[in-house]
Amino acid sequence: SNFASTSGPDDPYRCWEFKELARQGNASEARTMLERVTKQVQPLMRRRRWRVKLVREFYPKNPNLLGLNVNRGAEIRLRLRPPGDPARFFPYEHVLGTMLHELVHNTIGPHNAAFYKLLDEITLEVETDM
């Protein structure tokens, strides 16, 4: 397994491992994007005390589905490639936005006002971290 961390393997507030779709082309590019996204949100996760066991690339049949948070952070699934075009990738900022959206689900289930307020807050935090 691959530890996506800039803070050492004993920091619990991070993404523990990530997994690209090996059967798709450009798997190494997918892996690089997952690694970059997980490193980017690391400081935020530490501040918020959020943990994610696995960040996994997925390519769902539903073209509108961009991400999924399973059991409040046990697993986050991210769509890296546009529907109908698995050879290409979404821009990094798009995937990072999806990751932030899914991280909010660690705390808030429904897409209500509190959800979007927290999403705005953490988006600003991550932009500041950059």
Q: Which residues are catalytic?
A: 102
Structure-token pair, residue 73: 């952070």
35: amino acid identity, one letter: E
CB 55 within 8 A of CB 18: yes
